[in-house]
Amino acid sequence: MIQSILDFLKDFGVWGLFIHSFIDAIIFPIPAFFLQVSLSLLDPSSALWLATVGFIACLLGTPFGYLIGKLLGKSLLYKILKKKWVDKATEMFNKNGEAAILIGAFTPIPFKVFTILSGCLNFPLWRLMAYAALGRAIKFYAIGILFYVYGRAAEGMVGKVSLYVFLIGVPLILIGLWVRKKIRNRRQPAEAGASQQHDISAD
């Protein structure tokens, strides 16, 4: 049935990818990556346009996934996705929600797990959108650039490039978040000291 839906969406070309990417952020169990690759293979010259359409549609769908999480909680995830995916994503989210969203853009875990979990766990929507934009842009445009540059020959490179993006992107994300955390921790004592000094002066 899922393959039939994919074939149906493929017949609509770029609009099919738009629909797939939109519902990929909400409930559809198959990542839009597969349709993006299929359509890019048919017409490599449109690969960057397809990446842009998929990226925009995913961002538009993200708030809807978030709203579902707010209203229905994790019970829906257990019904539509593998329990191990949901449990792994929840563990990642509890440790560091920001890293979970960014890394989730590269992992096999469907992205809608993270949009729905964000709603379940009251993660700020604006931060979800910001981190989703960064992570999904890398994933969509890595494929788009690959097909645009190498044409149909890129089909055999997709797996390796996706792996390299994961191996390089995830460590960079973690390092960036670690540096950001260190800077934030240094600022807090300074701000607290400034606040105390202000109170003393006021007295």
The pLDDT tens digits of the residues spanning 38-47 come to: 999 999 999 9
What pLDDT score was predicted for residue 108? 61
Torsion-angle region of 52 (φ positive above 0: left; ψ -120 to 50: alpha; else: beta): alpha
What pLDDT score was predicted for residue 25? 86
Instruction: Evaluate if residue 7 carries a pLDDT over 90.
Output: no
Instruction: Evaluate if residue 190 carries a pLDDT over 60.
Output: no
Instruction: Evaluate if residue 6 carries a pLDDT over 70.
Output: yes
Q: What is the pTM of this model?
A: 0.75
What pLDDT score was predicted for residue 196? 55
The pLDDT tens digits of the residues spanning 49-73 come to: 999 999 999 999 999 989 988 888 7
- The pLDDT-based confidence of 148 (bands split at 50, 70, 90) is very high
Give a three-class secondary structure readout of 74-98. Answer: CHHHHHHCCHHHHHHHHHHHHHCHH
What pLDDT score was predicted for residue 156? 81
What pLDDT score was predicted for residue 192? 52
The pLDDT tens digits of the residues spanning 103-142 come to: 776 666 677 778 888 888 788 898 888 888 888 888 899 8
Instruction: Evaluate if residue 29 carries a pLDDT over 90.
Output: no
User: Domain locations in the chain?
Assistant: 2-202
